[in-house]
Structure 1
Amino acid sequence: MSIELTRNFSIIAHIDHGKTTLSDRLLEFTQTISQREQQDQLLDAMDLERERGITIKSHPVSMYYKAKDGITYQLNLLDTPGHVDFSYEVSRSLAACEGALLIVDAAQGVEAQTLANLHLANEQDLAIIPVINKIDLPSCDLPKVHKQLEDIICIPAEEAVPASAKNGIGIEDILEAVVKRVPPPVENEDKLLRASVFDSIYDNFRGVVSYVRVMSGSMKRGQRVKLFHTPNTYEIKEVGAFTPAMTKRDQLVAGDVGYVICNMKSAAEVKIGDTITDNTHQCPEPLPGFKEIQPMVFSGIYPVDSSDFEALKVAMGKLQINDAAFTWQSESSVALGFGFRCGFLGLLHMEIIQERLRREFDMDIISTYPSVIYEVTQTDGEEILVDNPCMLPEAQAIQEIREPIVRIYVMTPGDYIGDIMKLVMDKRGELENTETIDDVRVMLTCTIPLSEILVDFNDKLKSMTRGYGSMDYEHAGYKAGKLVKMDIMIAGEPVDAFSTIVDRDKAEAYGRHLAAKLKEVIPQQLFVVAIQACIGGKIIARESISAMRKNVTAKCYGGDISRKRKLLEKQKKGKAKMKAIGKVNIPQDSFIKVLKSGD
């Protein structure tokens, strides 16, 4: 189809504002799928996506729409993940478009993630079409949303398209707006092949399937191509489009969105954001915006049963084939045995990987407390990166430790601003800016250490704002802090599974909390067991598990007291000897109880 009749667009929205439902209605209206094939959340392939109502893996689709002017247009919809963990993938998908539908819930209005996604779209200079969804709800407040669009997003209210994706209201108006307001793709004058890779999946039979947007030139079977950021060249085996199933085509031309298969054996061979060009007639430079995806959160994953180690290793390898952003390497722990140190884009990415290991591979696993990458300057001037507390050098060899900082945007009703500011300060955050959004809500901009928001920050935010608060964050570099390594010692032996890097001011409280938790789950021994939290050589918290007591004087009926004393003295010596040479074997389920409690 002619490039002038092609429109490439994406849908961006805050979570649960109806993005996937609108995708379903657009596919229905354009008759891209038959009534027999129709199902809810069609573009969400994983059970996990359907259950949680989130998009994890983007899925493009090509539709044909006959507009009111009688002309048939090809509309390429690039579905995008919604969570901040996948913001780089979202930016690459948006870079492959010329326009975006910005969905705003008619009842909830503009949220934190709405603004974050809008900023990404504005960076790519996309045509923005605001869509006010869920206008059929009784709680819908159109005047308020119109005012927010004008005041916050600076888009005239009359440009917004009212719709209800659930009931199919306004779908034709949205498609007409896409045709009229989204500009057609523009091809580079030199006609050399430039194709942007915005995602990839692994097929067990055909290898890596790369999702591409052709910026200029054309791609067809048998053509030899190369990527700018990997050294190999490949022969194209198949090209095609999504309808939404993969449909083979003779070629992809400028403006098209589709897939290409080149006999790649792993997802690591193609990097998201890379540029594909013809091997014989190469374009002079890659398309802008590429960067290497780096894990931000690290956690140890261990099999509950040590005999499952090899099975877990195979499962990890299969997951990495599909997800190049997931990294892993073998490690061993005195407490947990053999396992893997894994890197993730964020906490949601970590949850998804763990859930997929349990569901798809039937693995029973335990994960250690998540940590982030610290930059450490040693006294000899050497700079190192530390993602595992066990790898931190001795305190006397450290000059400075820097931790990753994020800038968070919290949108909340004004009534809860005091509680949220207290939460931010408790998490070692700083308030940068307060902005009044409308007569009800405010937006707080804060900087906060990434390690502090990993586990429970969002849960606490939702709880204290009764679900009305929303947040988004972006990485804001590194900052030096008063950070120390805290070890947990049980009966004088350090347990590496509980080692953590904490703020010096919070170390004592966290050490006491963890020691008390361990006291509850570690079984009694025949001697007193000391649980100690320590920083370097200094003990900052202690709990003692009392010894199991055997009544050695039970057999003495009356008689001289010296006999009882003799027995008690003998028992005392035995306990002292046992304490000196005894070893505490901590059962696996004790680790599981502590680590799974989120403490």
Structure 2
Amino acid sequence: MTDLAHIRNFSIVAHIDHGKSTLADRLIQETKTVADRDMKAQMLDSMDIERERGITIKAQTVRLEYEADDGQNYILNLIDTPGHVDFAYEVSRSMRAVEGSLLVVDSTQGVEAQTLANVYQAIDADHEIVPVLNKIDLPAADCDRVAEQIEDVIGIDASGAIQVSAKTGIGIHEVLEAIVAHLPAPRGTLDAPLKAMLVDSWYDPYLGVVVLVRIMDGKLRKGDRIRMMQTGAVYPVDRVGVFRPGMIPVDELTPGEIGFITASIKQVRDTKVGDTITTEKKGCETPLPGFKPSVPVVFCGLFPVDSNEFEDLRDAIEKLALNDASFSHEMETSAALGFGFRCGFLGLLHLEVIRDRLEREYDIDLITTAPSVVYHIHMKDGETRELHNPADMPDPSHVESIDEPRIKATILVPDEFLGDVLKLCQDRRGIQLDLTYAGSRAMVVYDLPLNEVVFDFYDRLKSVTKGYASFDYQLTGYRADNLVKMQILVNDEPVDALSTMVHRDRAEMRGRAMVEKLKDLIPRHMFKIPIQAAIGGKVIARETLSALRKDVTAKCYGGDATRKKKLLEKQKAGKKKMRQFGKVDIPQEAFISALKLDG
């Protein structure tokens, strides 16, 4: 057993692109955990999509062995967490498995919105926090200003903040010494019954489900029969090990250690994140408090372009769901698109990542319908329903009121763009809650409806602030508002995929913008196509796409005018019949482009 005083468990928290994964690389290199010939950038980001986009999606764990300046050997368990708001759930559960955090702040950018969000999660988890100022090799670095900002905005003493450059390796030794000196050792009792926290789980095609555990009390070894306290399921442990980043088998895991087990578990659904693992006989009495399950906030439909690929899509979605517990799905059908799935995500980036993985890893062409959020509908008979898809909206005459989800958004923005940001939030029906200054930057807090944010708010925010704003949000609850379902009719047929919920005051403006956009996006056919936006039976906006036409009178040289008239009438009758039976093809890009508001 490793002495508890010589173990340190910590995570790295920061805003996107402030250098978490690069710092993790340097720590791995400095402790010689991986041979130099095997090192690569973003060592812990294993998915292609993570490496391509340069973001961390899954929290990753690695065990480092370090000989400190006092001659003692220490075991350091590092969890590298994502920075993006959509993966805040990954961050919160990683925090519960460790005792301390390195707070990485870019010394050229300063404190950003996600820095705040992630630090507050670390403070909630009772962490000891060591501030680290990164990127000091850049000419724009200003460590004194950023240290002052950390003290003003977050309220942590940053006088002893460690200055590093994760890219060049300056200051990495000091970081390791600070981890050993300032972070607390874990607590735990070896002789107590086994109590371990299930931190994460994922599916491995060779080993089945791999479970990441943090041992609180007792010991866990190969051959033990373990029980999951939430589900009551019992499994024999096949393999016990640690990550150095590859899987290395060990004899046992003891208190304070973080490692993995495999136990012939078939599905990731059988392992609830935050569950307590104990032994089948003489187990512990009380489980750990666990985590709140993740709640999807954005829903959209995924349909195969070729309806014959539906079974392939089903397999692909089920395999992806094995590795991502926060992604939910159920079957649905649509008149225009055939069979598909209604899927729930933690945010738009999460949606994009899942869609990219389906298209890339499983080679399926997809149609994605408009993202929407979950509404609560109060019926006149007292029943409350959840509405995931605007196309399923019940008859308005039976509806008492509709509640929409609201969020509290925190935006940090340089002073010169403040006016544009306030206008953008007002345009999206926002209510200003707070406006304070941190140096030359304003911190704006707004109460916004989630459905106004979910589509292209982030893109708009980045473009009006030239990329300098940072944005973070959390759900605050539901509130009733004057909402209606707006349908789009193409050639008098409603298109499910374009149905949206809008505020009554903005329905006309929104409807007009959508039909004008669709007029440019739908190719012309041989017949006239009306494109309409309607609320219930009332059309609020209309555009007509003119027909392609052939000049049928070209062969008439002179002669009686009635000859030409007769040919034109015949053509008109043909077009009328064609419009009756003609099918309008709406290209895939039209579905998404039509919904972007200010594009």
What TM bracket, shorter-length normalisation?
Answer: over 0.9
> Which structure 2 residues correspond to residues 59-74 of structure 1 after superposition, within 5 A?
59-74=60-75
* SS of equivalent to 2:114: helix
Query: How far 1:289 sits from its partner (Å)?
Result: 3.9
* SS of equivalent to 2:299: strand
Provide the residue aligned with 1:459 in structure 2: 459
Q: 1:491, 1:584 within 8 Å by CA — same for their partners in 2?
A: no
Provide the residue aligned with 2:327 in structure 1: 326
Identify if the C-alpha distance between structure 1 residues 210 and 529 changes in structure 2 by more than 3 Å, giving closer, same or farther: same
**Are 1:592 and 2:589 an aligned pair?**
yes
Provide the residue aligned with 2:420 in structure 1: 419
CA distance in 2, matches of 1:578, 1:312: 35
CA distance in 1, matches of 2:238, 2:593: 46
Query: How far 1:364 sits from its partner (Å)?
Result: 1.6
Provide the residue aligned with 1:114 in structure 2: 115
Provide the residue aligned with 2:130 in structure 1: 129
Q: 1:491, 1:583 within 8 Å by CA — same for their partners in 2?
A: no
Query: How far 1:593 sits from its partner (Å)?
Result: 3.4
CA distance in 1, matches of 2:99, 2:12: 12
Provide the residue aligned with 2:508 in structure 1: 508
Query: How far 1:330 sits from its partner (Å)?
Result: 2.1
The amino acid across from 2:581 in the alignment is K
Provide the residue aligned with 1:249 in structure 2: 250
Deviations 1:25-79 (A, max 9, x none): 1111111111111111001101211121211111111111111111111111111
State the TM-score, normalized to the length of structure 1.
0.95
The amino acid across from 1:472 in the alignment is D
Query: How far 1:305 sits from its partner (Å)?
Result: 2.0
Deviations 1:309-353 (A, max 9, x none): 222221111111111221222222222222221111111111111
Provide the residue aligned with 1:268 in structure 2: 269
* SS of equivalent to 1:315: helix
Q: 1:241, 1:259 within 8 Å by CA — same for their partners in 2?
A: yes
Query: How far 1:261 sits from its partner (Å)?
Result: 0.8
Provide the residue aligned with 2:441 in structure 1: 441
Q: 1:89, 1:198 within 8 Å by CA — same for their partners in 2?
A: no
CA distance in 1, matches of 2:290, 2:236: 25
Provide the residue aligned with 1:80 in structure 2: 81
Identify if the C-alpha distance between structure 1 residues 283 and 549 changes in structure 2 by more than 3 Å, giving closer, same or farther: same
Query: How far 1:280 sits from its partner (Å)?
Result: 1.5
* SS of equivalent to 1:372: coil
Provide the residue aligned with 2:95 in structure 1: 94
Deviations 1:488-546 (A, max 9, x none): 11222211121111121222122122212222233444443211110001101111122
Aligned residue pairs total: 595
> Which structure 2 residues correspond to residues 20-35 of structure 1 after superposition, within 5 A?
20-35=21-36
Provide the residue aligned with 1:392 in structure 2: 393
**Are 1:365 and 2:366 an aligned pair?**
yes
* SS of equivalent to 2:36: coil
Deviations 1:190-211 (A, max 9, x none): 8222111111111112111011
RMSD of aligned alpha carbons? 1.8
CA distance in 1, matches of 2:153, 2:60: 30
Residue 583 of structure 1, aligned match among 578, 581, 584: 581
CA distance in 1, matches of 2:189, 2:404: 43
CA distance in 1, matches of 2:31, 2:524: 68
CA distance in 2, matches of 1:159, 1:584: 73
Q: 1:517, 1:594 within 8 Å by CA — same for their partners in 2?
A: no
The amino acid across from 2:121 in the alignment is L
Stretch deviating more after TM superposition (148-157 or 111-120): 148-157
Q: 1:89, 1:272 within 8 Å by CA — same for their partners in 2?
A: no
Provide the residue aligned with 1:518 in structure 2: 518
Provide the residue aligned with 2:317 in structure 1: 316
Stretch deviating more after TM superposition (46-55 or 187-196): 187-196
In structure 1, runs of 5+ residues without a counterpart are none
Query: How far 1:281 sits from its partner (Å)?
Result: 2.1
Query: How far 1:113 sits from its partner (Å)?
Result: 0.8
CA distance in 2, matches of 1:501, 1:368: 14
* SS of equivalent to 2:200: strand
Q: 2:410, 2:472 within 8 Å by CA — same for their partners in 1?
A: yes
Query: How far 1:558 sits from its partner (Å)?
Result: 4.1
Provide the residue aligned with 2:177 in structure 1: 176
Query: How far 1:177 sits from its partner (Å)?
Result: 0.8
Identify if the C-alpha distance between structure 1 residues 471 and 578 changes in structure 2 by more than 3 Å, giving closer, same or farther: closer
> Which structure 2 residues correspond to residues 194-343 of structure 1 after superposition, within 5 A?
194-343=195-344
Identify if the C-alpha distance between structure 1 residues 158 and 573 changes in structure 2 by more than 3 Å, giving closer, same or farther: closer
Identify if the C-alpha distance between structure 1 residues 531 and 31 changes in structure 2 by more than 3 Å, giving closer, same or farther: same
Q: 1:8, 1:98 within 8 Å by CA — same for their partners in 2?
A: yes
CA distance in 2, matches of 1:556, 1:501: 53
Identify if the C-alpha distance between structure 1 residues 279 and 560 changes in structure 2 by more than 3 Å, giving closer, same or farther: same
Deviations 1:82-106 (A, max 9, x none): 2222222211111111110000111
Provide the residue aligned with 1:353 in structure 2: 354
Q: 1:9, 1:101 within 8 Å by CA — same for their partners in 2?
A: yes
Q: 1:303, 1:339 within 8 Å by CA — same for their partners in 2?
A: yes
Query: How far 1:568 sits from its partner (Å)?
Result: 4.5
CA distance in 2, matches of 1:570, 1:163: 80
Q: 1:486, 1:534 within 8 Å by CA — same for their partners in 2?
A: yes
CA distance in 1, matches of 2:522, 2:501: 23
The amino acid across from 2:582 in the alignment is V
CA distance in 2, matches of 1:457, 1:350: 15
* SS of equivalent to 1:263: coil
Provide the residue aligned with 2:472 in structure 1: 472
Provide the residue aligned with 1:161 in structure 2: 162
Query: How far 1:167 sits from its partner (Å)?
Result: 1.2
* SS of equivalent to 1:308: helix
Identify if the C-alpha distance between structure 1 residues 568 and 274 changes in structure 2 by more than 3 Å, giving closer, same or farther: same
Q: 2:336, 2:495 within 8 Å by CA — same for their partners in 1?
A: yes
Query: How far 1:159 sits from its partner (Å)?
Result: 2.3
CA distance in 2, matches of 1:75, 1:401: 51
Query: How far 1:158 sits from its partner (Å)?
Result: 2.2
Identify if the C-alpha distance between structure 1 residues 141 and 399 changes in structure 2 by more than 3 Å, giving closer, same or farther: same
Identify if the C-alpha distance between structure 1 residues 598 and 526 changes in structure 2 by more than 3 Å, giving closer, same or farther: closer
Query: How far 1:597 sits from its partner (Å)?
Result: 6.2
In structure 2, runs of 5+ residues without a counterpart are none
Q: 2:299, 2:372 within 8 Å by CA — same for their partners in 1?
A: yes
Stretch deviating more after TM superposition (308-317 or 373-382): 308-317
Identify if the C-alpha distance between structure 1 residues 363 and 571 changes in structure 2 by more than 3 Å, giving closer, same or farther: closer
Deviations 1:414-434 (A, max 9, x none): 111111000001111111001
Query: How far 1:455 sits from its partner (Å)?
Result: 2.4
Deviations 1:137-163 (A, max 9, x none): 111112201211221222223221111
Identify if the C-alpha distance between structure 1 residues 380 and 2 changes in structure 2 by more than 3 Å, giving closer, same or farther: same
Identify if the C-alpha distance between structure 1 residues 176 and 450 changes in structure 2 by more than 3 Å, giving closer, same or farther: same
Query: How far 1:578 sits from its partner (Å)?
Result: 4.9
* SS of equivalent to 2:176: helix
CA distance in 2, matches of 1:385, 1:218: 45
Deviations 1:387-441 (A, max 9, x none): 1111111111111111111111111111111110000011111110011111x11
The amino acid across from 2:100 in the alignment is G
Identity of aligned residues (%): 50
CA distance in 2, matches of 1:415, 1:325: 38
